Structure 1
Amino acid sequence: VLKDGSFKNLSGWAQEIATKRARLGNPLYQSIRHFKTFRSIFLNKVEAFVGLHQSSITQQDIILWNRTLNEAFDRMIELFTMYYGQVSEAQVYAQKMLISELSTPVISISDTVGVLPIIGQIDDYKSNDFAEKIMVQAKDLELSCLIIDLSGVPSIDTMMTNELFQVVNMLELLGIDTTITGIRPEIALTAVQLGIDFSKIRTYGKLKDAVSDLLHIR
């Protein structure tokens, strides 16, 4: 950049490094911190060079070098964060597609009882015909009871709760009882704060307890 004032080589480098960092899961703030460090190193080098060649360097040269380096670093950070964001979004999308492509999210553990483990946020399943898949599989497996395990759900909000209750209500219309297990303390607290009523749904703290009771009953 200092040689010819061109920024044309920045994009390729930024894309390559941002892609590597995003795929490795390196936090974005760490990379931004590195940019800050290297900016200081470059400017210190310019300062040292000016100190050695004061007689041949004008104030305009110093201003130009300072402006050029800062603009280069600013462009690099902009490009880097843009490419990092693109790769991160692509990874999130791929994960959601993987959830969508799961062929058998309902696990049959007996002739009449099945388990549906929820991993991640319930909202991740919203756009993937999740409820419809559950209905079809529960019916095909001729289940009379479906255990929905929330052990893998870190948190819940009103929208996610509505999604969950929609599945529960649809199962009820099919004559399938629903049991919910693995409700974390955070989820229970949120449910109380939101005024969510779980009293009409059978719940267990642990999946194994529900499986033991339901298999014994059925």
Structure 2
Amino acid sequence: MDTKTEALYKFLVDNATNFTDDWLKRQRVIKGSDYSADAPPEVMGRVKEQNSNYVRLVAKSLFQTEEEMKETISAWTSQTAADRIKSKTDLTEVAWNSGVFRRVYWEYVQKFVKQAEMEITLDDVFSWEAKINYTLDYVFESFIVVFMEILMNRLASQATLIKELSAPVISLTKEVGLLPLIGEIDTTRAKGLMESTLTQSIDARINTLIVDLSGVVMVDTMVAHQIFKLMDALKLLGVQTIVTGIRPEVAQTAVQLGIDFSDIMTEGNLQNVIKKFIQS
């Protein structure tokens, strides 16, 4: 590392705290954001520490190889992206602050150039520009990748949870389970229902599953087909299925659509099933 680059690095590191103070002065008031000017003291303290460390990491890239810089930055962005997700800070605010950080960074480089008691050429400045801006671009790029990965994983987990909650297999005894279905069942939900029910039935180790349709107001051919497939799959697993609570309008629709429930064990209501299979 040449003398001038070393001096710039030391200047940036020594002024990391002052840099962060200047950066914070440009923050807007945005409710719930870590970057907000009125963020709680504990949040502001953590953000100040992260930002000061960010200043030092970018300065360090002046004498790092590309591979070394990416390894260093990736560790920082992984932690920071997780914090921003936790605080519900959106990407719009992250992007805005990325621009603010870049502007302040170059203001400090300009301060160094003016204060330094050494001959600094345009070649020196453009050499620093290539390093610093490449690093800042990589920071934003890697931050977005980690941020979106965490966000998509959370959405996937929530979607799985919603599916499970929309088709919960309730253990009535060690051997008997209940699947209460409520609301409209479209093709997508019916497919998810099959996957979730099979998994839950195996996990619960039941041998009888009561499928209660009293909360279902409509069944079309495709949905009925999925229900039949579910029962066939359960049968292969050694689980007997009993359908209960078929509403009159659902029964009428089934007849009109030519849906045949004759091979399926049915009961008029859940109480009857409980009496036969639970209390016996």
TM-score (norm 2): 0.40
Q: Does 1:126 align with 2:187?
A: no
- Distance apart, 1:190 and its partner CA: 1.1
Q: Does 1:116 align with 2:156?
A: no
Q: Does 1:215 align with 2:275?
A: no
Q: Which runs of 4+ in 1 moved over 3 A?
A: 96-99
- Distance apart, 1:106 and its partner CA: 0.1
Task: Summarize deviations over 1:192-217 as a string: whole Å, max 9, x none.
Answer: 11222211111111111111111245
Structure 1 distance, partners of 2:240, 2:275, is 16
- Distance apart, 1:104 and its partner CA: 7.2
- Distance apart, 1:101 and its partner CA: 4.8
- Larger relative contact order, structure 1 or 2 (CA cutoff 8 Å, min sep 6): 1
CA contact 2:167–2:193 (8 Å) conserved in 1: no
Structure 2 distance, partners of 1:154, 1:203, is 17
Partner of 2:255: 192
Aligned pair in 2 of structure 1 residues 101, 203: CA closer, same or farther (>3 Å)? closer
Partner of 2:233: 170
- Distance apart, 1:125 and its partner CA: 1.6
Structure 2 distance, partners of 1:101, 1:115, is 14
TM-score (norm 1): 0.51
Q: CA RMSD in A?
A: 2.1
Pair member with larger Rg: 2
2:260 maps to a residue whose letter is: D
Task: Summarize deviations over 1:85-121 as a string: whole Å, max 9, x none.
Answer: xxxxxxxxxxx94732529700000011000000112
CA contact 2:175–2:208 (8 Å) conserved in 1: yes
Structure 2 distance, partners of 1:149, 1:104, is 11
Q: Does 1:99 align with 2:156?
A: no
SS of equivalent residue, structure 1 residue 115 = strand
Counting matched residue pairs gives 121
Give unmatched runs, 5+ long, in structure 2: 1-157
Structure 2 distance, partners of 1:104, 1:153, is 12
Task: Summarize deviations over 1:29-74 as a string: whole Å, max 9, x none.
Answer: xxxxxxxxxxxxxxxxxxxxxxxxxxxxxxxxxxxxxxxxxxxxxx
